Amino acid sequence: MHVTGAAEAARARMVADLRSHGRALSKPVQDAFAKVPRHLFLPEIAAADAYRDEAFVLKCGPDGIPVSSSSQPAMMAIMLEQLELGRGHRVLEIGTGSGYNAALMSLIVGQEGKVTSVDIDAELVARARASLDAAGFPDVKVTCGDGGYGDPGGAPYDRIIVTAGAWDIAPAWLEQLTASGRLVLPLSLCGVELSVALGRGDGNWRSSSACRCGFVAMLGAFARPQLALRLGGPDVVLIQIADDGDVDPEAVRGALAGPYVEMETGLQTADQAELADLDMWLTLTEPQLRRLTALNAAVRVPGELLPMGGMASHLEDAGHVGIAALLPGAAGLGSSQVRVRGYGPGGEELAAYLGARARVWAGRGRPGAADVELTVWTAADTPPAAPGPVVLERPSAKIAVGWRRRRPTA
Ligand SMILES: C[S@@+](CC[C@H](N)C(=O)[O-])C[C@H]1O[C@@H](n2cnc3c(N)ncnc32)[C@H](O)[C@@H]1O
């Protein structure tokens, strides 16, 4: 394996940074990151830059939205830990992308194990094949197809990992796992994405861990319904609206272009991560509201409009539409309280409602992603009468969103 000295040093720094993130990094995962030359999977950038803890876009669709990326190493490490991958395991990856994650997994499962990876994009499959060969991983099997159907030829698998944003839980993933198998996937719940690990429960599947994430959307037969609207002006903003339901694009554009109100919630949050927990909790406990994500189309980062994303009601009705978004405290303005901004005719009422719900979140001990507990049934199963406060119906699955109990705080 040929690596430049600069790349090797950058790789060692990346591993040290991954270890210092505060999360436990197991020895096999750490060793894999230390050994696999990521720069051979990202030949278009300078070798040392390939070891930055960042996602790199590999390909965009016709609308400019990324359809493939090499994921951020810190997120990959979290998912590999969730997967609990061991020596000798047979593992299936949905979403080959660069092939880098397949190579990491190949080192973890060793000669006794087997990595199979599926990507829906033939061009990316060819690219990953070439990179895997160049990096010394000829045994990883890469195939082109809709990973929603798994890869039945190699089943059963000890582990399945999905690395494209899923919305439904494809039956093949559950069917192609062994009895003690584990599925890790980025799952969109009400427009919020969580990486969850699922294992078999009693007539269902239960999550053992969950963590916030953001992935390119899965394509193919199990793709999530999502609408993208462009707001014009000098800085084009892309609004993505999650899930099914009526939307009047002009109602959304009109609300976001018009005046807004801002109000304080009376709550302080420790940091951005806690604010993200609040945002997630509000979204997951109010499934009747639609989730909006705003991206500055040029740089693809959240802008001023809805910095944390937003929640909306009556998106189909220009006379009643309301969009509300959390804002961090503005210390410069003399307040460090979390605020809520409301847009559109229904914006003030929605913002006040979310402010009240934010205080409920605080009273429940400020739950975050680590407190989410999912129970999943296939579409054919009948869950118990009241499986949880929120049950999301998907074409192939029913997903109950529950919460671990926390000690209430003020
Ligand atoms: C975030 S990238 C994967 C990153 C990859 N694991 C790596 O190490 O670079 C997501 C990939 O999923 C692929 N994808 C999207 N929908 C798919 C589907 N239905 N089946 C298989 N692959 C899919 C995309 O083409 C894209 O390459």
pLDDT, tens only, 337-369: 899 999 999 999 999 999 999 999 999 999 999
Q: Please name the helix (run of DSSP H) or strand (run of DSSP E) that holds residue 357, with its range, or none.
A: helix 347-363
Distance from Cα 190 to the centre of ligand 1, integer Å: 21
The minimum-distance atom of ligand 1 relative to the CA of 215 is: 1
pLDDT of residue 257: 85
Instruction: Note whether residue 387 is domain-resident.
Output: no
The answer to whether residues 270 and 183 belong to one domain is no
At residue 1, the pLDDT reads 43
Ligand 1: residue whose CA is nearest its atom 27: 97
Is 409 exposed, middle or buried (CB count within 10 Å of its CB: 0-12, 13-18, 19+)? exposed
- E strands, 177-289, in order: 177-189, 192-200, 205-212, 226-231, 237-242, 260-268
* Residue that terminates a domain, selected from 212, 236, 255: 212
pLDDT in tens, 212-238: 999 999 999 999 887 778 776 656 677
Please state the domain count of the chain. 2
Q: How far is the CA of 219 from the centre of ligand 1 (A)?
A: 9
**pLDDT value for 240:** 78
Tokens of 75: 């997120």
Q: Of ligand 1's atoms, which has the minimum distance to the CA of residue 93?
A: 6
Query: Per the domain annotation, does 101 fall within a domain?
Result: yes
Q: Which two tokens stand for residue 343?
A: 């847009």
- For residues 13 and 236, the model is more confident at 13
∠ CA(369), CA(150), CA(57), 5° rounding?
60
Closest residue by Cα to atom 3, ligand 1, is: 97
What is the tens place of the pLDDT at every residue in 163-205? 999 999 999 999 999 999 999 999 999 989 999 999 999 999 9
For range 88-113, the mean pLDDT? 98
| Tokens of residue 247, six digits | 């939307």
Whether the CB-CB separation of 308 and 325 falls below 8 Å is answered with: yes
Report the distance separating Cα 345 and Cα 157, nearest Å.
52
User: Out of 69, 70, 209, 396, which one is annotated catalytic?
Assistant: 70
Provide the pairing of β-strand 114-119 with 56-60: unpaired
Which tokens sit at 171?
A: 């039956």
For residue 408, being part of any structural domain is answered with: no
- Spell out which residues line ligand 1, taking CB within 6 angstroms: 67-71, 94-95, 97-98, 100-101, 118-121, 124, 146-148, 163-164, 215-216, 218-220
- Whether residues 187 and 59 share a domain: the answer is yes
In a domain, 402, yes or no: no
Is 304's pLDDT higher than 80? Answer: no
Judgement on whether residues 263 and 198 belong to the same structural domain of the protein: no
pTM of the full predicted structure? Answer: 0.92
Single out the residue in 181, 212, 243 at which a domain terminates: 212
How close is the Cα of 20 to the center of ligand 1, in Å? 28
Radius of gyration (C-alpha) of the chain in whole angstroms: 22
Report if residue 304 sits inside a domain: yes
Beta-sheet strands, E only, within 112-255? 114-119, 141-144, 157-162, 177-189, 192-200, 205-212, 226-231, 237-242
Atom of ligand 1 nearest to the CA of 223: 19
Residues 199 and 250 in one domain: no
Distance from the alpha carbon of residue 216 to the mean position of ligand 1, in angstroms: 8
Domain of 23, in residue numbers: 5-212
The mean pLDDT value of the chain amounts to 90
Answer whether 34's CB lies under 8 Å from 11's CB: yes
The rounded Å distance from CA 304 to ligand 1 centre is: 30
Active site residue 70: yes
CB 63 within 8 A of CB 6: no
The minimum-distance atom of ligand 1 relative to the CA of 98 is 9
- Pair 171, 49 in one domain: yes
**Domain co-membership, 87 together with 31:** yes
Instruction: Say if residues 375 and 206 touch (Cβ distance below 8 Å).
Output: yes
